[in-house]
Amino acid sequence: MIWSEPNARERLELMKNSTNVAIVGASDNPARASYFVSTYLLSSSHFKLFFVNPRLETLLGHPVYKSLADIPEQIDIVDVFRKASDIPGVLDEAIAIKAKVFWMQLGIEDQVSAERGAAAGISVVQNRCLKIEHARFHGGLHLAGFDTGVISSRRNAKRGQS
């Protein structure tokens, strides 16, 4: 099977049809992308998150699992925050637990693993952020990645200037 990038509508459907998300490579460091994405998804999405990191016990008030196999519920999306060289092993775990979607975060691509995941019947997304994709479909995206609450196409102009 040849892998092809899911288009925007397909990515939206993958998210709409998913509930349980495993964040692999979850970090308790607020400066890390996985932490920021996790806090957003916990507060702004319908997803139930499961964190995976063998070095942590809890994160954001939730238990942290040592591996995908340790999670007691079926996982829909495996969202990966690991280096590209770790992708094949994480994909093996995702295939073993029968995940529906294997999602590699921004900057992470592995064409061989994408092909292997597709051949195993898993939808594969590469080099995209689950938080950004969720926000773009739910009105929460701003240039800085935050919802400003302002809806306007006009620039703020100083008074007296045109």
In CATH, what number is assigned to the domain containing residue 98? Answer: 3.40.50.720
CA distances from 159 to 105, 153, 156 (A): 43, 18, 9
**Residues paired with 58 in a beta bridge:** 63
Residue 43 lies in a domain: yes
7 pLDDT above the threshold of 50? yes
Residue 53 lies in a domain: yes
Residue 52 lies in a domain: yes
CA distance linking residue 41 with residue 58, whole number of Å? 17
Range(s) of the domain holding residue 42 = 8-137
Residue 13 lies in a domain: yes
Report pLDDT for 102: 98
Identify which of 160, 145, 138 has the alpha carbon closest to the alpha carbon of residue 11. Answer: 138
What does the pLDDT look like over 97-134, one tens digit per residue? Answer: 999 999 999 999 999 999 999 999 999 999 999 999 99
Residue 41 lies in a domain: yes
Q: Provide mean pLDDT across the span 140-151.
A: 48
Structure tokens at 138: 């739910």
CA distance linking residue 100 with residue 84, whole number of Å? 20
Residue 160 lies in a domain: no
**Residues paired with 63 in a beta bridge:** 58
CA distance linking residue 81 with residue 108, whole number of Å? 8
Residue 33 lies in a domain: yes
Residue 149 lies in a domain: no
The number of distinct structural domains making up the chain is 1
